[in-house]
Structure 1
Amino acid sequence: MRTPAEITWARALSADVFIRTRESSQAWSTLWPSIRRWRSDCTREPQRQVSRFAIPSFSPSGPINLDRPSSQRDHAAKPNLNQHASNMSQRAISQLVGLGIVIFVLVIAASQATYVVQPGFRGVQVTLGKVDPAFKPEGFGLKTPFVASVIPIPIRQRTVPLTTECYSSDLQQVSVQLKVLFRIPETSVVRIYQEYSGDPFESLIAPRVAEALKEVAALRSAERIVQAREEVKIETLTGTRAKISEFINIVDITIVDIALSRELEAAIEAKMVQEQEAAKAQFIQQKSEIEANTAIIRAKGEAEAIRIRGEALKNNPDLINLQIVEKWDGHTPLVVGGGGEGGSNILLPLGNIKRQP
């Protein structure tokens, strides 16, 4: 039998243990969120290290249980590890997206801050609507991003076709197809960009060439324009250069074709046929005159020759005997008859002539 003192001591001890256990449980309940955060941080290490240093599982509202198996403790830690891994994946994706945005912005800024002028071009820089007076040479360069731009202007020689209509001095419409060879000097690229929008050929060159051609065509007939193509070309080139030589170098102008109306072409063709026929008739007339003059000259020559021969025979009677001897072959007859009835015989005086050996 226990004494009353022992019973009282046992009751007091039990009450003290109960109180201490309850206080410990309340303390663990207070520390539980901090412990969970610590366990989440531990998941950054390999799984085996987390299992090695895992905190024993317990219930925040009950007493501490240090006798649970390790398999149960690992099973209790798996949901926290999966949640932490999910949070880590979301943070990594957010960081990658942010890094991609930063790289994209940097690339755009770098592309806007640089420019490249290709060979055969010169650049005109425009900053917030203001044109830089100095052109940009070919190659790589820097500019103010997002507010400045560089417009390339070609300075190579170009050949552009042009068709224009004009009127001749006889009020005939003439269509002329041209090819204009020109080149923009690099010193004029800024001025041309400022004063002439778009293609400089359409806004500057073509109107001046058409104007010069009309001035030249107005001084000539349609037929003359067709016949004197080279003359029209030279005067058109000279007039165009006088108008825009301070802006652009006009290298050459070539006339490809000159087209007239059908009626005018038919009239010119008929006129050319008539001129050819007249020229042919004139040639025939001139030929006849030449032949007649030739016959007259020939007759005069023959008459003059006969006259000279007669005078020679008259002045030299022995010339006949000499001619007879030159033509004689050394045989008789010595008598030559006139032949026929009533003819007379002629005795040649050959008594003193001896045949030459």
Structure 2
Amino acid sequence: MRNLLMIFVASLFITSCAVIRPGEAGVKQRLGKLDNEVVTQGTIVFNPFTTKVIKESIQTNNLKLALRIPSKEGLSVDSEISILYRLEVEKLPTVLENIGPNYKDVMAAVFRSASSDVCAQFYAKDMHSGKRADIEKAIKEKMETTLTPQGIIIEAVLMKSIQLPPGLSLSIEQKLQAEQDAMRMEFILQSERLEADRKIIEATGSRDAQKILAQGLTPEILKLRSIEAFIQLSKSANSKVIITDGKTPFLINGEKN
């Protein structure tokens, strides 16, 4: 009998304790009424006959959704959504009292409403471009208006795996290809213009050099060059036939002695 009593007492003690692990928060619910005190770590002792402990995660969680989003032109865009959220510790009793343990369903409903309002202001192609961040931000802000006062913190809304209608996807791909071709042609034309400019500069420099050289060939310079040529010829061991007017020598041929 004594052993049975000890077993009963031990069982009662075990069932009247709840362990709150890191990343969790616990709230006592006594006779259906939630306690305002929130325990984040440690052990909670309670009366199992009248009280129970509700535990919820207070870490950042990821709510994944897959749904169709309407666009401004009336198209439906398939998308996978990740909503990063966490419960505000101090408002955990409020979440459980006003929304209940199925708060994820409420979050999904709020997202559907917010995404419909926001995405209806953007074209389908915007969801597949740099405007996606603006759409995500606008949806997040709209969700915060409803959920933050209730104790649910929305950290981010991420739109992933955007699937545009087939016809629109093809049009976007063709447009991107046309833009790439135009950029490639512009590069080629720019290279050709630079090469043409280089040739013009080279030709202009050569012409200016010839003009400068021609301006420097005065009769006195030509006479001096002739004298230098005669001097060089006089030093040669070969015989030469030269016709000259006394000013400029003209070499006809030369034979070795």
Determine the structure 2 residue equivalent to 1:180.
83
Q: 2:222 aligns with which of 300, 317, 320?
A: 320
SS at match of 2:52: strand
Which residue identity lines up with residue 178 of structure 2 in the other structure?
A: Q
Determine the structure 2 residue equivalent to 1:299.
203
Are positions 1:190 and 2:190 aligned together?
no
Q: What's the CA shift for 1:102?
A: 5.3
Are positions 1:132 and 2:32 aligned together?
no
Which residue identity lines up with residue 25 of structure 2 in the other structure?
A: R
User: Structure 2 CA distance, aligned partners of 1:273 and 1:318?
Assistant: 68
User: Structure 2 CA distance, aligned partners of 1:348 and 1:230?
Assistant: 86
Determine the structure 1 residue equivalent to 2:165.
261
Q: How many aligned positions are there? A: 242
Q: What's the CA shift for 1:267?
A: 1.4
Written as runs of structure 1 = structure 2, the 5 A alignment for 1:270-285 is 270-285=174-189
Query: Quick one: higher RCO (CA 8 Å, sep 6+), 1 or 2?
Result: 2
Q: 1:146 aligns with which of 49, 72, 76?
A: 49
SS at match of 1:169: coil
Q: What's the CA shift for 1:144?
A: 3.2
Which is helix-richer, 1 or 2? Answer: 1
Are positions 1:119 and 2:22 aligned together?
yes
Which residue identity lines up with residue 45 of structure 2 in the other structure?
A: L
User: Structure 2 CA distance, aligned partners of 1:328 and 1:168?
Assistant: 94
Q: What's the CA shift for 1:202?
A: 3.0
Would the aligned equivalents of 2:71 and 2:122 in 1 still touch at CA under 8 Å? Answer: yes
> Which has more radius of gyration?
1
Q: What's the CA shift for 1:194?
A: 0.8
Cα pair distance change 1:152/1:320, threshold 3 Å: same
Determine the structure 2 residue equivalent to 1:227.
129
Unpaired runs of 5+ residues, structure 2, are 235-239, 250-257
SS at match of 2:38: coil
Cα pair distance change 1:115/1:273, threshold 3 Å: closer
Written as runs of structure 1 = structure 2, the 5 A alignment for 1:20-169 is 106=9, 109-111=12-14, 113-169=16-72
Determine the structure 2 residue equivalent to 1:251.
155
Are positions 1:289 and 2:201 aligned together?
no
Would the aligned equivalents of 2:226 and 2:247 in 1 still touch at CA under 8 Å? Answer: no
Unpaired runs of 5+ residues, structure 1, are 1-95, 337-344, 351-357
Q: What's the CA shift for 1:148?
A: 1.7
Q: What's the CA shift for 1:226?
A: 1.6
Determine the structure 2 residue equivalent to 1:331.
233
User: Structure 2 CA distance, aligned partners of 1:245 and 1:192?
Assistant: 10
User: Structure 1 CA distance, aligned partners of 2:231 and 2:113?
Assistant: 93
SS at match of 1:119: coil
Q: What's the CA shift for 1:243?
A: 4.3
Identity %: 21
Would the aligned equivalents of 2:66 and 2:80 in 1 still touch at CA under 8 Å? Answer: yes
SS at match of 1:144: coil
Cα pair distance change 1:137/1:297, threshold 3 Å: closer
Are positions 1:309 and 2:205 aligned together?
no
Q: What's the CA shift for 1:192?
A: 0.6
Cα pair distance change 1:147/1:236, threshold 3 Å: same
User: Structure 2 CA distance, aligned partners of 1:144 and 1:192?
Assistant: 23
Q: What's the CA shift for 1:108?
A: 5.5
Which residue identity lines up with residue 173 of structure 2 in the other structure?
A: E
SS at match of 1:331: helix
Would the aligned equivalents of 1:335 and 1:347 in 2 still touch at CA under 8 Å? Answer: no
Which residue identity lines up with residue 242 of structure 2 in the other structure?
A: V
User: Structure 2 CA distance, aligned partners of 1:164 and 1:187?
Assistant: 32
Would the aligned equivalents of 1:334 and 1:348 in 2 still touch at CA under 8 Å? Answer: no
User: Structure 1 CA distance, aligned partners of 2:173 and 2:162?
Assistant: 15
User: Structure 2 CA distance, aligned partners of 1:147 and 1:101?
Assistant: 23
Q: What's the CA shift for 1:151?
A: 1.1
